[in-house]
A and B are shown apart, each in its own frame.
Chain A
Amino acid sequence: MNDMRIAERVVDSMESKITARGVQVFYGQNHALKDVDVDILDKTVTAFIGPSGCGKSTFLRCLNRMNDTIDGCVVKGSIKIDSEDIYDPKVDPVQLRAKVGMVFQKPNPFPKSIYDNVAYGPKIHGLTRNKAELDEVVETSLRRAALWNEAKDRLKSPGTGLSGGQQQRLCIARAIATSPEVLLMDEPCSALDPIATAQIEELIDELRSQFSVVIVTHSMQQAARVSQRTAFFHLGYLVEFGETGQIFTNPKDPRTESYITGRIG
């Protein structure tokens, strides 16, 4: 997947998994995100692109309420997953995050064994009844994250001893071990070399069969390679959102065109 070819446009589903309407985010006085409307489809890879500070990571972190941990962050508007408002006071963010997994920019495995890293989510959510089931979940997650062959003989060694790309795949395995429905990825390849990046991108494409994947990326080539739909953010506004092919070949907004041709950003 090292070419600039645009990923297949086959969108398996036209059901909207996440519906965001009129989302505003404030960090104290700073109005970080202005009036964003997005529909994220089920079993689709959606890429968020845009220059630094445009609000794409902020929006991503709204989707599983990771912004709650930031002091002074206020989110307005409605974000619905399966038509349930995730900012409803009745929603427990813990339950939400079990449903919406997240992979971060920097690989951040727990300083524990590889096995414990993957088993942690299922354990705290009570997804397995015994050790055998847990072993199975760990194995399938590591297999799906394409890490099983490298890690199966060293499950007890610390996850922090893996290479950067392996650590990131471990984080992906950890995120999918809780069987989420949506997987959020915040620049998952920015700390990786091209080979590890290619592995992760392949993986994202495979994960699409089960999850709705949202990926924030600085690399437009990556967005073009892995995503079916692309959203372009600029200065806190959602400028354009549509099929990846259309965004990259025939953008409607002049700002999108300037960005993807390298004139702004």
Chain B
Amino acid sequence: MTDVSGGPAALPVSKPRRGSLLTQDALTRRRNAAEARFKACGAVAITLSMLALVWLLFSIISIGSPAFRQTFLTIPIELPEAKLDKSGTRDPAAMAKVTTVGYAAVIQAALTKAIKEKGISTDGLTPKDIAGIVSLEAPAQLRNHVLANPDLVGQTIDFEILANGRVDGFFKGRVTMESARLDSNIKPGQLVLAQQLVEAGIMAQRFNWGFITFPDASDQRPEAAGLGVAIIGSFYMMIVVLVLSLPIGVAASVYLEEFAPKNRLTDLIEVNIANLAAVPSIVFGILGLAVFINFAGLPQSAPIVGGLVLTLMTLPRIIIPARAALKSVPPSIRDAALGVGASRLQSVFHHVLPLAAPGILTGMIIGLAQALGETAPLLLIGMVAFVRDYPGMPIDGFFDPASALPVQVFSWTVRGDPGFVERASGAIIVLLVFLLVMNAVAIILRRRFERRW
């Protein structure tokens, strides 16, 4: 068989009837060209969307990353007992009588002294101008620090104080000498002083944990604004959404898919669920306002109400993929379970649900991620309020006023001070990091589940 030459004599060979296989006919060429065109369109579409994504990420990161760095002054501050604790008892309640105005004077004195020690000239600047390079928030921070540690009174402490937002913007390139000349909030002389302070080692930029931990701040002090309350609020809302929508969503989809009779009523429910998933989210905000706040009397701006509204919004978006996941479990598994005498509930919980779990989980996390980024319904239930107090611990904290990450982005973008532009983009970065973490968790959990089976 392997010896070709020893084979039977060569037979006469037939001629191709429909043209040679080695040349393409017109139809084949047209088909191949159409395929190539389609592939090229796809490649162009992918490239465009990748470019858009890269551009988006680049612009957000380049605008937002400065929010994670902040300019601070580190100066020795003398805390005179005569001014801060007249009673001499170190009793925080008595010391609280001294307002931030008193602390502002302390900071101003310390700053003037530090500048004098370094031999920096302050010609042409009033004492008020000198104090103006410090954030308006700094006296409040110093006051909180002293009230928390009353024993510091009478000592001299090294304290880090926030620089003013314009000074900070100067080092980030947002504020220039030219823009300062037109700006009533800052003078070029103050920027020169700030530059000298940096050279003297008093003022420096460092990583800004305050952006993650501080609460929101008012219009005049972008340098002190942080995401602390918004992160806690979003986290609480996600807990409420998870705790409510996972059991309700899974139970509803299991019932509809496995137990409910197929009739007009269930058809109607099915259509309604599909429609609810497409309802604009702001409608859920109106519903939440009417039902949870006006009717049920729950507090405004509270994570519990936000969580409930987002649960309503998320449920259909969880039920639809959960039902698809249940539907994709092969019926032979149900037959097998029923065939050995399992009840329907047992066949669902022992076999069908574990097999559908990865799909349900993915739908769940995608639903949660959508809820995390949802802004419109939260605006209607008052989560856009300016909240400076951290909400308490769960479960009571669910009823305290809080903000939410996407709402914080929204409210910062409408503020006047240019310092909030970088804050808003920084908040978007934090939001994106949260979403990435959630998606990574979803992928890991799905892998884990799939490996078990």
Residues of A within 8 A of B342 (CB): 94, 120, 124
Q: Is A98 an interface residue (CB 8 A)?
A: yes
Contacts of B335 in A (CB 8 A): 66, 69, 102, 104, 108
Interface residues of B (CB under 8 A from A): 261-262, 330, 332-343, 346, 350-351, 355, 453
10 interchain residue pairs of minimum CB distance: A98-B341, A108-B332, A102-B339, A121-B340, A97-B341, A108-B336, A111-B453, A94-B343, A124-B342, A94-B341
Q: Are B339 and A110 in contact (CB under 8 A)?
A: no
Do B341 and A124 have beta carbons less than 8 Å apart?
A: yes
29 contacts between A and B (CB under 8 A): A66-B339, A69-B334, A69-B335, A69-B338, A71-B262, A94-B342, A94-B343, A95-B341, A97-B339, A97-B340, A98-B341, A101-B339, A102-B335, A104-B335, A108-B330, A108-B333, A108-B335, A108-B336, A110-B333, A110-B336, A112-B453, A120-B340, A120-B342, A120-B350, A124-B342, A124-B350, A125-B341, A158-B453, A175-B340
CB of A64 within 8 Å of the partner chain: yes
* Chain A 144-182 per-residue mask, 1 if CB under 8 angstroms from chain B, else 0: 000000000000001000000000000100110110000
Given contacts A64-B339, A104-B339, A124-B341, 20 further A-B contacts (CB under 8 A): A66-B339, A69-B338, A71-B261, A71-B262, A94-B342, A98-B340, A98-B341, A101-B340, A101-B341, A103-B339, A104-B336, A108-B333, A108-B335, A108-B336, A111-B453, A120-B342, A124-B342, A125-B341, A158-B453, A174-B340
Q: Nearest CB to that of A72 among chain B residues? A: B262
Q: Whole-angstrom distance between the alpha carbons of A111 and B346 in the complex?
A: 15
| Interface assignment of A188: CB less than 8 Å from any CB of chain B | no
Within the complex, what minimum Cβ distance (angstroms) separates A104 from chain B? 6
Determine the chain B residues whose CB is within 8 A of the CB of A112 once the complex forms.
Answer: 453
Cα of A66 to Cα of B341 in the assembled complex, Å: 10
B425 to chain A, nearest CB (A): 47
Tell me the minimal C-beta distance from B408 to chain A in angstroms.
Answer: 45
Q: Is A236 an interface residue (CB 8 A)?
A: no
Residue in B262, B336, B339 whose Cβ sees the most chain A Cβ within 10 Å: B339
A69 to B339, CA, bound (A): 11
Residues of chain A lying within 8 A (CB to CB) of residue B340: 97-98, 101, 120-121, 124, 174-175, 177-178
Q: Is the CB of A178 within 8 A of B341?
A: yes
Q: What does DSSP make chain B's interface, helix, strand, loop or mixed?
A: helix
Report B-chain residues with C-beta under 8 Å of the C-beta of A80: none
Chain A proximity of B331: nearest CB distance (Å): 9
B270 to chain A, nearest CB (A): 15
- By a CB distance below 8 angstroms, the chain B residues around A103 are 339
Complex formed: what's the CA distance from A104 to B332 in Å? 8
Which A residues lie within 8 Å of B351 (CB)? 110
CB distance from B233 to the nearest CB of A (A): 41
> Considering only CB atoms, which chain B residue lies closest to A125 in the complex?
B341
With A and B bound together, what is the CA distance between A64 and B336 in angstroms? 13
Report the minimum CB–CB distance from B152 to chain A (whole Å).
64
Which residue of B262, B337, B338 is within 8 Å of A110 (Cβ)? Answer: B337
Nearest CB on A from B188, distance (A)? 73
What is the CB-to-nearest-CB distance from A143 to chain B, in angstroms, rounded to a whole number? 18
**Cα-based distance from A110 to B355 in the complex (angstroms):** 10
Interface centre among B262, B336, B346 (most CB of A within 10 A): B336
B residues in contact with A66, CB < 8 Å: 335, 338-339
CB pair A111 B355 closer than 8 Å: yes
Given the complex of chains A and B, what is the CA–CA distance between A140 and B334 in angstroms? 25
A109 within 8 A of B: yes
Whole-angstrom distance between the Cβ of A119 and the nearest chain B Cβ: 11
The verdict on A97 contacting B262 (CB below 8 Å), with A106-B332, A108-B332, A110-B333 known, is no
- Assuming the contacts A71-B262, A104-B332, asked whether A175 and B346 have C-beta atoms less than 8 A apart, the reply is no
How distant is the Cα of A109 from the Cα of B340 in the complex, in angstroms?
Answer: 11
Q: Shortest CB–CB separation between residue B353 and chain A, in angstroms?
A: 13
Tell me, in angstroms, the Cα distance from A121 to B336 when the chains sit together. 10
The winner among B262, B334, B335, B343 for most chain A CB atoms within 10 A is B335
Across the interface, do B336 and A171 meet the contact criterion of CB distance under 8 Å? yes
Interface string of A204-238 (1 = CB under 8 A from B): 00000000000000000000000000000000000
CB of A121 within 8 A of CB of B341, answer yes
Closest CB in chain A relative to B334 CB, distance in Å: 7
Minimum distance in angstroms from B100 CB to a CB of chain A: 66
Task: Provide the bound-state CA to CA distance between A112 and B336, in Å.
Answer: 13
How far apart sit A124 and B342, CA to CA, in the bound complex (Å)?
Answer: 7
Q: Which residues of A contact B337 (CB under 8 A)?
A: 110, 120
- Find out whether the CB atom of B453 lies under 8 angstroms from the CB atom of A175: no
CA distance A103 to B335 in the complex (A): 10
Which residue on chain B has the smallest CB distance to residue A109?
B336
Chain A residue with minimal CB distance to B263? A71
Q: Whole-angstrom distance from the CB of B332 to the nearest CB of chain A?
A: 4
Bound-state Cα–Cα, A265 to B334, Å: 31
The interface residues of chain A lying within 8 Å CB-to-CB of B332 are 104, 106, 108
Q: In this complex, what residue of B is CB-closest to A99?
A: B341
Chain B residue with minimal CB distance to A160?
A: B453
Bound-state Cα–Cα, A171 to B336, Å: 8
